[in-house]
Structure 1
Amino acid sequence: MFLALKEIKQSRLRSSMVVVIMTLIIWLVLFVAGLAAGLGNENASAIKAMPVSHFIIQEDAGERIARSTVSDSQLQQIKQQYGSAVMPLQLQQATITSPSDTNKTDVTYFGIDFTTELAPQPTLAAVDDKSVVIDDSFKAAGYTIGDAFKDERTGTVFTIKGFTAGKAYSHTPVIYLSTSAFKQIATPSATKKAGVNVVALRITDDEAQQLAIKGLTVVTKAAVVKQIPGYKEEQGSLTMMIAFLIGIATFVLAAFFYVITIQKMSQYGVLKALGATNRYLAKSLLLQIIFLALISIIISVLLTLGVAQLLPATMPFELSLPLVSGIIAIFVVVALLGSLLSLYRVFKVDPIEAIGGAGE
């Protein structure tokens, strides 16, 4: 450790350049990862937050809630098999306006039974056919409890009974209303079909496999989330960007450490001539790299948190402890991988050649 810190102190400019390069790369990865998580939540947080494990969905709906229809007769069969675990869900995207102005907002209605676990928190048993619970993103538009809004298509007016945090679907805020209230704003085609879109359940995989109702299938919540329009494509693109950045970081750091190691060959040769072992030199090099990586990581995390505070509320961005911890672990490994070529050169250095005595 002494040799590693001494070398960093003596080569301040070189060490600073390594820190700057690593900081910028890690900062970019953290920002893209936070953006990916934020976009993912804005696309699917309402489904992810549901305390369920599976959905019963129409077999040919491609695992998409909006395409599915579960008829009333099928719903009764499901209730007979699963009893109180059954939680019907209806979904429809629409546009609302405030009666006091003409500003329009795209939303997604979730028609639910407020006595089930699908009810948003805090649970409001007093919700009726004319009141709703809405996502708290509406607060930015000036909505408060007791305010009213109008469904653009039907003209139906609802009163806001309460707010719930972080509930969105397909990049639109979610409005929770009762199943009877949902009928007031449902499109004519949905009204003719009757029934519900899907049935949410909290059951085991074994119980899920026992469903035997013609035209229906059981899928996991994770599968439903992936099939939300745009979710898979959006996350796939951002994940690919992160993977490329990590790959580029590995090559950049490997080249950087290798060049630095080549410049110090004579010094390593002298140390070997004085009796330093490969193990001692390798330990010193790895400690130096880890130390620089940790400094870069700390600066990057602080920069990312600072920038996150400056981002507008309309930009979805979210950093969680598991996400940040995972990226930190990845970059520690990347830094160590980038040092492998340098370690190989240190192991192979010949003391006599390194100090210029090979031709004597």
Structure 2
Amino acid sequence: MNIAWKELKKNKSRFFILGSIVSLISLLTFIISGLANGLSQDNASLIKNLPNGEFYMKKDADQTYSLSKINHTTQEKLLKTEKDALALSIQMGFLNDVDGKQRSVSFVTATDSKFFPEVSVGEIILDSSMKEKEIQVGDRLTNNQYSGEFIVKGFVEQSKYSHAPVAFINIKDYEEIYKVAEMQLIYMPEKVVSQDETNGLQSFSNKEFLNTISSYKAEQLTLNMIVWFLVVISGMLFAIFFYMMNVQKIGLFGILKAIGIKTSSLFYMMWTQMSFITFVALVVSITISHLLNVFAPKGMPYYLSIETTVILSIMFLFIGFMGATLSGIQIKKVEPLQAIQRGEG
């Protein structure tokens, strides 16, 4: 332990450079993870806010909910099997505000349920982000396919779909706009029904259903690949740095072994240095990345959770440990006499 600290003090500039690079890489990783989570919420918070359950759509819809149509008989049968089950439909559209400007929204309608707000004919409830567009309770909004007007009755928090604010409307109003009588999906939060009851339907967990949204899957896959790539780079960085350091210290290792220092103690010294550098780098990067939760611009979909932070921190410590350990294999092979002669030469 003392040797590890002495070397840290002696080679402050080297370890500072390594710590700075690790800090920047981890900061970038945390920020990208925050953006991935933020985009996930912005893309599908309507679905992510629901408890874990099962979604059902027609098999012949080819995992495209907009092509799914569930007949009334099947719908009624499934809704009776569980009191919290619901049928819903989602469709992209637009609203005209009081100034005549078009606002993109995701129209959502559902049968009576505790998970979605109750909306009467001619009423509409919007995601709170619409307040930023100067839409207020009591405003009258229109749609070109709707004969009447929608009266804004209220707002809900964190309810978006496909990067558009959700607009909850009554089933009858939805049918008038889109000229359809069938619902697209059945959602059941708990009960698993038999195959006979879901004949002709395909089931999806919440996560599986999210992956049927093409934009969601593409975004998350791309950003998560970048995160993993940065984590691997950090491990390679540790391996290269400690390898170079160990090559320069072959003579020192030989002397230490000659006076009775065990190989395990030398590894412990290296692990101590790695842990200290990684810990300091993570403290700096975590502090900055979480400050973005507070100070990020409103239009920036950014959210970094404590859970994600802990998981990534453990990954950085583990990959740093592996990188340093692999680079230290040469320590085990050092023969005291040869290393001393090499150092003298």
| TM-score (normalizing by structure 2) | 0.92
2:203 partner amino acid: V
Contact 2:79 2:86 in 1 (8 A): no
Tell me: CA distance 1:62–1:201, structure 2 relative to 1, closer, same or farther (3 Å).
same
Correspondence for 2:289? 304
- Matched ranges for 1:49-128 at <5 A: 49-51=49-51, 53-80=53-80, 82-99=81-98, 101-113=99-111, 115-120=112-117, 127-128=119-120
2:188 partner amino acid: L
Q: CA deviation at 1:350?
A: 2.2
My pick for the range that moved more, 328-337 or 237-246, is 237-246
Tell me: CA distance 1:87–1:10, structure 2 relative to 1, closer, same or farther (3 Å).
same
In the alignment, the residues of structure 2 paired with residue 210 and residue 243 of structure 1 have an alpha-carbon distance, to the nearest angstrom, of 39
Tell me: CA distance 1:278–1:55, structure 2 relative to 1, closer, same or farther (3 Å).
same
Tell me: CA distance 1:52–1:33, structure 2 relative to 1, closer, same or farther (3 Å).
closer
Question: Residue 208 of structure 1 aligns to a residue in which SS?
Answer: coil
2:103 partner amino acid: T
Question: Residue 212 of structure 1 aligns to a residue in which SS?
Answer: coil
Q: CA deviation at 1:329?
A: 0.7
1:105 partner amino acid: R
Tell me: CA distance 1:358–1:142, structure 2 relative to 1, closer, same or farther (3 Å).
closer
Tell me: CA distance 1:170–1:211, structure 2 relative to 1, closer, same or farther (3 Å).
farther
Correspondence for 1:257? 242
CA deviation string 1:192-226 (max 9, x = no partner): xx12111111234xx33344354323332222111
Correspondence for 1:149? 141
Correspondence for 1:332? 317
Contact 1:64 1:224 in 2 (8 A): no
- Aligned mate of 2:183, from 184, 193, 196: 196
Q: CA deviation at 1:110?
A: 0.9
In the alignment, the residues of structure 1 paired with residue 343 and residue 296 of structure 2 have an alpha-carbon distance, to the nearest angstrom, of 60
Q: CA deviation at 1:83?
A: 4.6
In the alignment, the residues of structure 2 paired with residue 152 and residue 265 of structure 1 have an alpha-carbon distance, to the nearest angstrom, of 78
Contact 2:146 2:173 in 1 (8 A): no
Q: CA deviation at 1:295?
A: 0.6
Tell me: CA distance 1:91–1:267, structure 2 relative to 1, closer, same or farther (3 Å).
same
1:200 partner amino acid: Y
Contact 1:75 1:195 in 2 (8 A): no
Q: CA deviation at 1:292?
A: 0.4
Question: Residue 108 of structure 1 aligns to a residue in which SS?
Answer: strand
- Matched ranges for 1:233-272 at <5 A: 233-272=218-257
- Aligned mate of 1:179, from 168, 171, 181: 171
Contact 1:90 1:111 in 2 (8 A): yes
How high is the sequence identity, in percent, across the aligned residues? Answer: 26
CA deviation string 1:299-331 (max 9, x = no partner): 111222234444322221111111111111111
In the alignment, the residues of structure 1 paired with residue 75 and residue 327 of structure 2 have an alpha-carbon distance, to the nearest angstrom, of 65
Contact 1:170 1:229 in 2 (8 A): no
Correspondence for 2:162? 170
Tell me: CA distance 1:67–1:357, structure 2 relative to 1, closer, same or farther (3 Å).
closer
2:96 partner amino acid: T
Contact 2:137 2:153 in 1 (8 A): yes
Q: CA deviation at 1:357?
A: 6.9
Question: Residue 339 of structure 1 aligns to a residue in which SS?
Answer: helix
Contact 1:95 1:153 in 2 (8 A): no
2:116 partner amino acid: A
Tell me: CA distance 1:350–1:145, structure 2 relative to 1, closer, same or farther (3 Å).
same
Question: Residue 282 of structure 2 aligns to a residue in which SS?
Answer: helix
Structure 1 spans left out of the alignment, 5+ residues = none
In the alignment, the residues of structure 2 paired with residue 8 and residue 61 of structure 1 have an alpha-carbon distance, to the nearest angstrom, of 62
Contact 1:149 1:158 in 2 (8 A): yes
Question: Residue 160 of structure 1 aligns to a residue in which SS?
Answer: strand
CA deviation string 1:119-139 (max 9, x = no partner): 24xxxx5x4212222111112
Q: CA deviation at 1:177?
A: 2.0
Tell me: CA distance 1:249–1:200, structure 2 relative to 1, closer, same or farther (3 Å).
same
| TM-score (normalizing by structure 1) | 0.88
Contact 1:132 1:176 in 2 (8 A): yes
Matched, 1:293 2:272: no
CA deviation string 1:44-85 (max 9, x = no partner): 1101212350122111112332221112232223245x1524
Question: Residue 181 of structure 1 aligns to a residue in which SS?
Answer: helix
Structure 1 segments, 4+ long, off by >6 Å, are 357-360
Tell me: CA distance 1:70–1:359, structure 2 relative to 1, closer, same or farther (3 Å).
closer
Contact 2:109 2:169 in 1 (8 A): yes
Question: Residue 341 of structure 2 aligns to a residue in which SS?
Answer: coil
My pick for the range that moved more, 229-238 or 14-23, is 229-238
Q: CA deviation at 1:142?
A: 2.2
1:91 partner amino acid: I
Tell me: CA distance 1:317–1:211, structure 2 relative to 1, closer, same or farther (3 Å).
farther
Q: How many residues align?
A: 345
Tell me: CA distance 1:52–1:117, structure 2 relative to 1, closer, same or farther (3 Å).
farther
